[in-house]
Amino acid sequence: MSNSNTPHIILASSSAYRKELLSRLQLPFISISPEIDETPKPNEQPEETAIRLAQEKAEAIGLTNPNAIIIGSDQVATLNGAQIGKPGNHYTALAQLKTMRGKTVIFHTALCVLDNRTSHQIQIANCQTLVQVRELSDAELDAYLHIEKPYDCAGSAKNEGLGIALLQSVQSDDPTALTGLPLIALTSMLRNLNVTFFNSVH
């Protein structure tokens, strides 16, 4: 458990998935939704979009929250180099899944940790995950969407839920990156800021 020396930590996100992931570290934190434009810039590479947005989220929250460590993250899914956004509705999600089946989708999950206390140090990482999608029928894909309704997820599937059944394989150095917050990279960054995870309770 954390102690009284744990710094003030803010997750620059309204995502329930990222909140759940960060809570695994058993550090006290609050979540604040950053109000930024997430539209990709012209000719911007997918990993560039993810990294830029992760940093912009952290910096947006940092403007009004001094003396805190701020965590920003963003994820961009790509197929054949083209970005796949959040579908927003059933029709778009079904079209996405039909396009993705039998193919490899690359998820870029960017992470930015801003130390807004004294140094204003910024640490950035991009965790890449390769996902092979199963060859499934239109009926199966439609049924999945009606069950889980993953319309707020890039790629139209929740790998932490029933969406795992859509996947043939997942390749990544960080198993939490696909869900939206790469905890291995995050714990390394927090350690660089002298955040501890295993304080003695005796």
Residue 47 lies in a domain: yes
Would residue 143 count as lying in a domain? yes
Q: Which domain does 16 fall in, by range?
A: 9-192
CA–CA dist 166, 158 (Å, integer): 9
197 within some domain:
no
Instruction: Quickly tell me which residue has 């796949």 as its tokens.
Output: 84
1-10, 12-21, 49-58: least confident range = 1-10
In the predicted structure, residue 27 carries a pLDDT above the cut 90? yes
Record the tokens describing residue 188, joined without a space.
Answer: 């390394």
Q: Is 199 inside any structural domain?
A: no
**Count of the separate structural domains present in the chain:** 1
Q: What is the pLDDT of residue 97?
A: 95
Domain assignment present for 14: yes
Nearest-angstrom CA–CA distance, 202 and 198: 12
Query: Does residue 1 sit within a domain?
Result: no
Which residues belong to the active site? Answer: 74
What are the structure tokens assigned to 53, written together?
Answer: 């947005």
User: Which pTM value belongs to this model?
Assistant: 0.89
Q: Is residue 4 part of a domain?
A: no
Whichever domain contains 130, its CATH number is: 3.90.950.10
| Least confident window among 45-49, 87-91, 125-129, 151-155 | 151-155
Q: What is the pLDDT of residue 119?
A: 77
DSSP 168: E
Grade residue 161 by pLDDT with cuts at 50, 70 and 90: confident
Torsion of CA 61, 75, 122, 42, to 10 degrees: -90
Q: Rounded to whole angstroms, how far apart are CA atoms 30 and 182? A: 18
The CA–CA distances, whole Å, from 74 to 15, 108, 123, 177 equal 10, 8, 14, 10
